[in-house]
Amino acid sequence: DAGVIQSPRHEVTEMGQEVTLRCKPISGHNSLFWYRQTMMRGLELLIYFNNNVPIDDSGMPEDRFSAKMPNASFSTLKIQPSEPRDSAVYFCASSLRISGNTIYFGEGSWLTVV
């Protein structure tokens, strides 16, 4: 069974450019999460969706960040315009929303904004 698939794995972009990160959750999972990881702040939850609906976006740092989930098998995290301080590893994760469930992470998208 394929795990959570993220793309691109690595991206280097110039400040001011738009960045789009993509995620395909595990088939059948109905919750999806976006995390960001930096040395300074560790793993931060940015936003999560249940059944394609955003439930909590309080972790989204600012208006430059937006996330969508148009269907159960695809989500995007967009940064526009990007800034050097957005450089981080962005992880997508998914889970089944049942008692005692766990979440499963993708391998991450390594973003560098220069």
Partner 1 sequence: DAKTTQPPSMDCAEGRAANLPCNHSTISGNEYVYWYRQIHSQGPQYIIHGLKNNETNEMASLIITEDRKSSTLILPHATLRDTAVYYCIVRVSNTGNQFYFGTGTSLTVIP
Q: Which two tokens stand for residue 65?
A: 């960040």
Q: Which two tokens stand for residue 113?
A: 């904004």
Does 4 bind partner 1 (CB under 8 A)? Our answer is yes
Q: Which two tokens stand for residue 24?
A: 């395909």
Q: What whole-number distance in Å separates Cα of residue 22 and Cα of residue 5?
A: 8
Bridge partners of residue 77, in order along the sequence: 21, 67
Count of residues near partner 1 by CB under 8 A: 26
Contact 31/94 with Cβ under 8 angstroms? yes
Shortest distance, CB of residue 56 to partner 1, whole angstroms? Answer: 7
Considering only 18-26, 65-73, 76-84, 105-113, which stretch makes contact with partner 1 by CB under 8 A?
Answer: 105-113
Does 111 bind partner 1 (CB under 8 A)? Our answer is no
Considering only 11-19, 44-52, 65-73, 74-82, which stretch makes contact with partner 1 by CB under 8 A?
Answer: 44-52
Does 23 bind partner 1 (CB under 8 A)? Our answer is no
Q: How many CB atoms sit inside 10 A of residue 41's CB?
A: 10
Cβ distance to partner 1 smaller for residue 71 or 102: 102
